[in-house]
Amino acid sequence: MPDLFGEIEPGVAEVVPFDGGARAYSYSVPAALKDTLQVGQLVRVPLGGRVSLGVVWRYPAEPPPAAKLRSIILLEHEQPVMTPDCCKLAEWMAGYYGCGLNSVLETVLPAAIRKGVRPVLRRLLTLVAPPAPEALEKLRRKAPRQAQVIDYLAGQPGPADRAKMVDGIGVAQPAVDALIKSGVVKEDASVLWRVAYDDPFAEGEVVAARGHDLNPQQVTAVASISATLDSKAFRAHLLHGVTGSGKTEVYVALIRKVVAEGGSAIFLVPEVALTPQTVGRLRSRLADLGAKVVVWHSHLSAGERFDAWMAMSLGQARVVVGARSAVFAPLPNLRLIVVDEEHEPSFKQGETPMYHGRDVAVMRASMLGIPCVLGSATPSLETWKNAQAGRYVLDPMPKRVDDRPMPAFRIVDMRREVLHLKGQHILSRELTDGIRERLQRREQSILFLNRRGHSRSLVCPDCGESVQCARCSVSLTLHRTDDTARCHLCNHQERAPVVCPQCRSPKVRWKGYGTQKVEETIAHLFPRAKVARIDADTMSKKDRFRQVLSDFRAGKYDLLLGTQMIAKGLDFPRVTLVGIIDADLSLQLPDFRAGERTFQLLTQVAGRAGRGDLEGVVVVQSFQPATDPIQFAKRLDFEGFAAAELERRAEFGYPPDRHLIRHVFRGRNAEKVNFVAEAWVKELERLHPGVAEVRGPAPCPFEKVQDQHRVHIWYLVSGVKSFLAALLPLRAKVLRDEDVIDVIDVDAQDCA
Ligand code: ADP
Ligand code: ZN
Ligand code: ZN
């Protein structure tokens, strides 16, 4: 590390220190760094009485006089950890989501980097000119240590780590140096990092590596997006392709083009762990280009995160597949961002900074002047509206590959059906018959129910109560596997009660059903069927999910039963029946997007059927079969649904008509929470009348979570930034009650 104290010349850079850097501060640049310091590099700077690690943020246009500033102390290492565009992106996020730069950086940068973990240089040795046998014998007598090194290297399958060898066989460094000097051994000078990136997906499900010849609609979509690539300008494209239309091949073709031209690409998926097939396909289709693909997901250890980050930063990996935070990947020469299943709510982060990965992707692409491709069979209404207005290019793929038919929907009206059911009230006759036929024909079925556990709630006929979690305002769910009653909000569990906790009545009964009970029902109706259940309870082990999926693919199960974990992205050619057991669950969500979510869910789940040569049928059970989402899904009419729903949203002024900013207040004391929220609204409306349409405060749908009482206020605004400019300073001044925490969620997706 160069000694940088002393001779300081003018030259000013802004640095965001990790310890307490809500913003960037100016520092003078020491002479030794003046020509080399780059945006994105890590440096140590004085901050208050301490020294903090930070990232070089930018060179200010009008710097303050350098003489008045404190100086950067030293450069941590040369490799930048952020790209300049990502610094700009982080700045935009801090402004748009109303939070400090430091909290944005906590999301953007892996913890190991923020803590200053250093790359360790690993030196690799290769035996390049092995001496002839006589020469080696001579060496054994004259310089036994050198001979030892040669023997060691000769026994290695590839290059050997110098430090490891020296430790392992106990030779002295000069022996190694002598061999390098005489040209017998070569030392690899290229920088390697702490450990080789150990890829937990390396043994993922094997998916056929061969590509397909693109069909005409794929060719058209690729051409449209390629044109944007070649234009070197930003455009967002909506790839609106029905389920099974072959969107992945379109992404692959584009990523291959980018990689072949020396660029790099980001591929965002809702949740990597739930889309192992997509990862496998991408991997195998890029292998021949020699492009290393980093898989970025929540199961990576801190060390793996560090290594993956550095591999990207160094240009060793050119493609990253990952969940939302992969949007910040430090890839040099980034030329394409793809967001698959762009409508998925999981792209929105649930904690500060509450950013939307898709929106950040579009913003990053626009800052770089590159295309951003948003793909979905059921685009979010936000994206759809942008496409309709011509702000995004619409690339439609209305047909499935090989002209395979779309699945046919059968809607079962459960209001009538229950009258005919005997013994069980879960599976309709149509669904039972369907499963039986599939079993006979040796085809596969998928059953979908978005509720885990056995029974939904314990109800007491004597006092009329249902048993709630002690700390949350939800019913406890019965889990039959260990006879516990569990809270799905806070994970509290207790022994399943046998008498009413309120009135001690023994007549309590469990009502409603979840996946465990469906599993029992199927076992009862079809004792010989081989059933796999996939939900958060069965999939606690990391690799179990992939194992079950590949066993299902291999035909080891007849039936796959699961929650939303099986809703998306899976491609099984022998599935010809999909049953949606309770379509009303998502309709009843206390959320203005309930209809949109239901339409998406029905379409996505249905899309798992008929993906091979066999036609698929979807059976939807509902007590409200006439509602829009169900009817439009049945007719496969996304555009009709979107038009009707957009009209309804506009009527209420809901997104995408305007932005929704949700302000949640919570604390242990309900009265205090209410009081603070009420007072806040009055103050806001007094000082900034008309700055937003304000609704509330009102209790959140989940009024109590973990003993925290919750109320929310909704602001509906046309411009986020101008609204936050009014709100944030006032909030800093007014909201100082220590017992009440408030959180602002811009473009809220979750309103519970
Ligand atoms: P989507 O993501 O649009 O639902 P996928 O990308 O999963 O669709 O593709 C569906 C299936 O079609 C996959 O099994 C894929 O291998 C296959 N496929 C894709 N493109 C073609 C093509 N041009 N010809 C034949 N099969 C294709
Ligand atoms: Zn009771
Ligand atoms: Zn609880």
Domain at 729, CATH number: 3.30.70.600
The predicted pLDDT at position 581 comes to: 94
The predicted pLDDT at position 204 comes to: 47
Cβ–Cβ under 8 Å, residues 618 and 412: no
CA dihedral 628, 633, 637, 643 (to 10 degrees): 30
Q: Which atom of ligand 1 is nearest to the CA of 247?
A: 3
Percent of the chain with pLDDT over 90: 54
Q: How far is CA 242 from CA 292, 341, 375, 384, 595, in A?
A: 30, 11, 10, 14, 19
1, pLDDT greater than 80: no
User: Using omega within 30 degrees of 0 as the cis cutoff, is the peptide bond preceding 656 cis?
Assistant: yes
425 and 541 fall within a common domain: yes
73-89 tens-digit pLDDT: 999 888 889 999 999 99
- Categorize the per-residue pLDDT at 2 as very low, low, confident or very high, splitting at 50, 70 and 90: very low
- Categorize the per-residue pLDDT at 197 as very low, low, confident or very high, splitting at 50, 70 and 90: very low
The predicted pLDDT at position 303 comes to: 78
Q: What is the mean pLDDT of residues 645-661?
A: 95
The predicted pLDDT at position 174 comes to: 87
The predicted pLDDT at position 569 comes to: 66
**Nearest protein CA to atom 23 of ligand 1, as residue:** 214
SS (H, E, C) 396-415: EECCCHHHCCCCEEEEEEHH
SS (H, E, C) 337-405: EEEECCCCHHHECCCCCCCEHHHHHHHHHHHHCCEEEEEECCCCHHHHHHHHCCCCEEEEECCCHHHCC
Residue type present at position 279: V
pTM metric for this prediction? 0.85
Whole-number CA gyration radius for the chain:
30
For residues 283 and 492, what is the distance between their CA atoms, to the nearest angstrom?
40
267-304 tens-digit pLDDT: 999 988 777 777 888 888 888 887 888 888 877 888 78
Check if 205 has its Cβ closer than 6 Å to any atom of ligand 1: no
- Categorize the per-residue pLDDT at 234 as very low, low, confident or very high, splitting at 50, 70 and 90: very high
Nearest Cα neighbor of 328 from 301, 300, 342, 308 is 308
686 and 723 fall within a common domain: yes
153 and 90 fall within a common domain: no
- What would you measure as the largest C-alpha separation in the chain, in angstroms? 98
For residues 341 and 441, what is the distance between their CA atoms, to the nearest angstrom?
33
Q: How far is CA 552 from CA 133, 293, 515, 597, 609, in A?
A: 57, 27, 18, 27, 14
Q: How far is CA 654 from CA 101, 632, 737, in A?
A: 29, 21, 31
9, pLDDT greater than 80: no
579-636 tens-digit pLDDT: 999 999 888 888 899 999 999 999 998 888 887 778 889 999 999 999 999 999 999 9
Q: Is residue 169 part of a domain?
A: yes
318-363 tens-digit pLDDT: 999 999 999 999 999 999 999 999 999 999 999 999 999 999 999 9
Residue type present at position 41: Q
Query: What CATH number has the domain bearing residue 40?
Result: 3.40.1440.60
Q: Is residue 323 part of a domain?
A: yes
Chain centroid to CA 140: 58
154 and 29 fall within a common domain: no
Nearest Cα neighbor of 66 from 31, 33, 26 is 26
146-160 tens-digit pLDDT: 999 999 998 887 788
Give the CA count within 13 Å in the CB-facing half-sphere of 468.
13
Q: Is residue 653 part of a domain?
A: no
239 and 357 fall within a common domain: yes
127 and 162 fall within a common domain: yes
249-267 tens-digit pLDDT: 999 999 999 999 999 999 9
51, pLDDT greater than 50: yes
Q: Is residue 306 part of a domain?
A: yes
Q: Residue 686: give the domain boundaries.
A: 659-746
Distance 289 CA to ligand 1 centre (A): 21
Bridge partners (DSSP) listed for residue 580: 448, 620
For residues 612 and 575, what is the distance between their CA atoms, to the nearest angstrom?
8
Residue 452 neighbours by CB under 8 Å, 6+ apart: 477, 488, 514, 515, 516, 535, 536, 537, 563
Lookup result for tokens 């801190």: 302
Chain centroid to CA 376: 15
Where among 87, 109, 131 does a domain terminate?
Answer: 109
- Strand 74-77, strand 42-47: pairing: antiparallel
Chain centroid to CA 318: 19
| Secondary structure (DSSP) of 24-49 | -EEEEEEGGGTTT--TT-EEEEEETT
Check if 428 has its Cβ closer than 6 Å to any atom of ligand 1: no
131 and 233 fall within a common domain: no
Q: Where are the beta strands (DSSP E) in 190-275?
A: 235-241, 264-268
- Categorize the per-residue pLDDT at 44 as very low, low, confident or very high, splitting at 50, 70 and 90: very high
208, pLDDT greater than 80: no
Q: How far is CA 69 from CA 12, 30, 31, 209, in A?
A: 8, 11, 14, 57
Cβ–Cβ under 8 Å, residues 88 and 101: no
Q: Is residue 492 part of a domain?
A: no
Where among 615, 648, 681 does a domain terminate?
Answer: 648
391-445 tens-digit pLDDT: 999 999 999 998 888 889 999 999 999 888 888 889 999 999 999 999 999 999 9
6, pLDDT greater than 60: no
243 and 392 fall within a common domain: yes
The predicted pLDDT at position 643 comes to: 97
Distance 500 CA to ligand 3 centre (A): 18
Q: Is residue 475 part of a domain?
A: no
383 and 424 fall within a common domain: no
Distance 506 CA to ligand 2 centre (A): 8
Check if 248 has its Cβ closer than 6 Å to any atom of ligand 1: yes
Q: What is the mean pLDDT of residues 513-539?
A: 91
Query: What CATH number has the domain bearing residue 281?
Result: 3.40.50.300
264 and 301 fall within a common domain: yes
**Nearest protein CA to atom 24 of ligand 1, as residue:** 212
For residues 148 and 175, what is the distance between their CA atoms, to the nearest angstrom?
9
Q: What is the mean pLDDT of residues 677-695?
A: 93
- Categorize the per-residue pLDDT at 200 as very low, low, confident or very high, splitting at 50, 70 and 90: very low
- Structural domains in the chain (count): 5
Q: Which atom of ligand 1 is nearest to the CA of 277?
A: 7
- Output 729 or 61, whichever has higher pLDDT: 729
Where among 163, 191, 219 does a domain terminate?
Answer: 191
Q: Which atom of ligand 1 is nearest to the CA of 208?
A: 16
Distance 85 CA to ligand 3 centre (A): 42
Number of continuous H segments (helices) and E segments (strands) in the chain: 23, 30
Q: Is residue 486 part of a domain?
A: no
552-566 tens-digit pLDDT: 999 999 999 999 888
Least confident of 74-88, 179-193, 224-238, 357-371: 179-193
Q: Is residue 335 part of a domain?
A: yes
From 240, 247, 248, the mutation candidate for ligand 1 (largest count of ligand atoms within 8 A of CB) is 248
- Categorize the per-residue pLDDT at 21 as very low, low, confident or very high, splitting at 50, 70 and 90: low
63 and 173 fall within a common domain: no
Distance 490 CA to ligand 3 centre (A): 4
From 212, 220, 338, 614, the mutation candidate for ligand 1 (largest count of ligand atoms within 8 A of CB) is 212
635 and 725 fall within a common domain: no
3-class SS at 143?
coil
Q: Which atom of ligand 1 is nearest to the CA of 215?
A: 23
For residues 196 and 313, what is the distance between their CA atoms, to the nearest angstrom?
15
For residues 283 and 302, what is the distance between their CA atoms, to the nearest angstrom?
23
From 401, 575, 636, the mutation candidate for ligand 1 (largest count of ligand atoms within 8 A of CB) is 401
Check if 571 has its Cβ closer than 6 Å to any atom of ligand 1: yes
Ligand nearest to the CA of 505: 2
Least confident of 56-65, 706-715, 723-732: 56-65
**Mean pLDDT in the chain?**
88
Check if 244 has its Cβ closer than 6 Å to any atom of ligand 1: yes
Q: What is the mean pLDDT of residues 87-99?
A: 94
The predicted pLDDT at position 3 comes to: 43
Count of all residues that appear for the chain in the document: 752
